Chains A and B, each alone.
Chain A
């Protein structure tokens, strides 16, 4: 499994309220949620994001509310992976459960800038910054996690 795309870069403590503001939580439709993804931290995100793009952030990404709508919005917006120095724990669980790939890697979080083209090999956990010609060793995805992601989430994985 691989992912490739351009990077949207954020700093510490990106909370789930800015990922998907509560005023849109009267919907649980992934497509509708995606149209407001990152709206309160980066209002141009939705206009600029392309299928396969990657979010890179620093510490405690996804802190705050347990809303699963946050990783759902990111995934439905076309993002192929989120890399951060650390993730808030509920977001971490939720992302895996809905099949959004995430990688904790401090070096990558600091060695990648907005707009860089990045390629990720989930089998090896290797993160390549194609723009800068650098690479970072992230954690390889265990097989079960790859299966959850390829099945489209935990429930589909349990069913299969």
Chain B
């Protein structure tokens, strides 16, 4: 029986010729990742272990990104705990204020994830690196601790859903709209425990940033991972960012999938997820009159340079609506600097938006844009659960950078085409 792309990567890392869905395997890890919220819990666990030290100081990445620059004393204590651990174990890839970025934008940018890798991260959006043809998945802090100590993790080999992508996006439609469309179609548990494997002749029309956005939100359909085949764009990206050796795995022609869907990119419209689940999707023409108090453009889902360029193209020469706060968060220092050099930051500030240092802040209701009771936000982030961005009676609407920017101008959820 043929294997999926994910199954091939897992088999190779378990030292087995083949695996099948449901098998329990132990795999070697190429990278173990944690942030300032999840790492302190992992460090507490690793300190309890009888085994001393970490498996490989070059294969651990600790990224301070959620509540930094420290929002309060407790967050500062958390970061200090991780910083001390990183110093003690001489962790090569420790990223603090000044070097950090939102982890899932930073790790590919630093060349720490490449095709064929097996990566675990104590952050659910670790599935992002599937865009590069890696198997990467979110775990908890205890798994992170065990991974840092041993360089191994156990997995149940997943079955897969195949998404055959054809065609080309229309103007203002992007990777965010595709993944929201898919989540709306299969539901927030539609891919529970499974791989989401993307394939088809439309992949070539997806930029790397689109692919990162799509793989990033596999978890919002319950997926264990999302994964893309490797093409010229992937190889160009890896050569630009990494000197690590990559391995290309391809799904077998006779690989078995639980379900298969075909999606024509040209048939998609801008898509918005209504509160309080990412599956509550509507196309932009079905949205109606939804007034918003805040627009957030950023996050591990949509804080990359092409996202900022798209938002800036809409905000250029326009003003943010009266009584609306527009918060733009470049995902890494490099993206921030690029945005400064291209004049994008100037465009945002002239439009009346604020531009923040990289942080996960508002996405998870941490800081830097918390909502009051009754307020609404249109955000390029990834979750719109109850209380996600602040008060339990606030609301988050998930959308693309184009829709978030257009909405910032009009003060209600809008299509850029209507400006």
Instruction: Please give the residue numbers on chain A whose beta carbons come within 8 Å of chain B beta carbons, in ascending order.
Output: 13, 15, 17-18, 21-23, 25-28, 40-41, 59-60, 63-69, 71-72, 86, 88-90, 93-94, 97-98, 153-156, 158-159
In the assembled complex, the Cα of A13 lies from the Cα of B37 at a distance in Å of 23
B189 touches A66 (CB 8 A): no
**Residue pair A40, B38 in contact (C-beta under 8 Å):** no
How far is B37's CA from A63's CA once the two chains are assembled, in angstroms?
18
Closest to A90 in B: B138
Judging by beta carbons under 8 Å apart, are B72 and A154 in contact?
no
Q: Are B41 and A13 in contact (CB under 8 A)?
A: no
Tell whether, in the assembled complex, residue B386 and residue A18 are in contact, meaning their CB atoms are under 8 Å apart: yes
Cross-chain contact A159 with B222 (CB below 8 angstroms): no
Q: Is B93 engaged at the interface, CB distance under 8 Å to the other chain?
A: no
* With A26-B78, A66-B122 as contacts: A13 and B188 at CB distance below 8 Å: yes
A94 to B41, CA, bound (A): 12
B152 CB to closest chain A CB, in angstroms?
12
- Bound Cα distance A21, B388 (Å): 8
A63 to chain B: closest residue by CB: B188
Within 8 A of A (CB), among B67-83: 67, 71-72, 74-75, 78
> Quick one: which of B115-174 are within 8 Å of A by CB?
122-124, 126, 138-143, 145-146
Partner of B192, one of A89, A93, A155: A89
Measured CB to CB, the residues of B under 8 A from A are 37-38, 40-41, 44-46, 48-50, 66-67, 71-72, 74-75, 78, 122-124, 126, 138-143, 145-146, 188-189, 192-193, 219, 222, 224, 277, 364-366, 383, 385-388, 392
Q: Which residue of A lies closest to B77 (CB)?
A: A26
- The distance in angstroms between the C-alpha atoms of A18 and B364, with both chains bound, is 11
- A17 neighbours in B (Cβ, 8 Å): 364-365, 383, 385-388
Closest to A23 in B: B365
Most buried by B among A17, A18, A25, A153: A25
| B365 touches which of A22, A27, A71, A93 (Cβ 8 Å) | A22
Please, how many angstroms separate the alpha-carbon atoms of A64 and B223 in the complex?
11
Q: Which 4 A-B pairs have the closest CB atoms?
A: A94-B140, A26-B74, A97-B142, A68-B140
**Is A28's CB under 8 angstroms from B78's CB?**
yes
- In the bound complex, residues from chain A placing their C-beta under 8 Å from that of B40 are 28
CB distance from A41 to the nearest CB of B (A): 7
Contact B383 A64 (CB under 8 A): yes
Which residue of chain B has the shortest Cβ distance to A17 in the bound complex?
B385
**Contact A66 B38, beta carbon cutoff 8 Å:** yes
Chain B residues contacting A63 (CB-CB under 8 Å) are 188-189, 222
Does B392 lie within 8 Å of A40, measured CB to CB? yes
Cα of A25 to Cα of B68 in the assembled complex, Å? 13
Contacts A/B (CB < 8 Å), 20 sampled: A13-B189, A15-B386, A21-B365, A22-B365, A28-B40, A41-B386, A60-B189, A63-B188, A64-B219, A66-B122, A67-B140, A68-B41, A68-B122, A68-B140, A88-B222, A90-B140, A153-B142, A154-B142, A154-B146, A155-B146
Select one of B49, B75, B140, B189 contacting A59, CB under 8 A.
B189
Alpha-carbon distance between A88 and B366 when the two chains are bound, in angstroms: 23
Question: A68-B141, A88-B189 known; A60 and B49 CB under 8 Å?
Answer: no
